[in-house]
């Protein structure tokens, strides 16, 4: 539970870091696909999951911004 402004800032930073890591994963996935290291079906499934996670993280970040 967030108890102070400092805690809220830590949460915000953590979520932004998670979003950055997700973007890095998406880039690595694109490179792996371009180099044919993964099959197209696997690429599509994983890419779809990363988009879902990105939407969830963005919603969480937005809700935290609105609460503080």
C-beta separation of 40 from 33 below 8 A = yes
Give the residue numbers spanning the domain of 47. Answer: 39-67
For the residues of 16-65, what is the DSSP string, one character each? Answer: HHHHHHHHHHHHHHHHHHHTTSS-HHHHHHHHHHHHHHHHHHHHHHHHHH
pLDDT band at 63 (very low <50, low <70, confident <90, very high): confident
Number of domains in the chain: 1
In a domain, 56, yes or no: yes
Position 61 confidence tier, pLDDT thresholds 50, 70, 90: confident
For the entire predicted model, the pTM comes to: 0.76
In a domain? residue 61: yes
Predicted confidence (pLDDT) at residue 64 exceeds the cutoff of 80? no
**Residue 60 is encoded by which pair of tokens?**
């969480």
pLDDT tens, residue by residue, 5-58: 566 677 777 888 899 999 999 999 999 999 999 999 999 999 999 999 999 999
pLDDT digits (tens, 9 = 90+) for 50-60: 999 999 999 98
């Amino acid at each position: 539970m967030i108890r102070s402004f400092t805690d809220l800032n830590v949460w915000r930073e953590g979520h932004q870091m998670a979003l950055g890591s997700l973007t890095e994963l998406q880039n690595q996935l694109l490179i792996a696909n371009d180099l044919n290291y993964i099959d197209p079906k696997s690429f599509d499934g994983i890419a779809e999951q990363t988009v879902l996670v990105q939407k969830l993280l963005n919603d969480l970040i937005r809700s935290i911004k609105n609460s503080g």
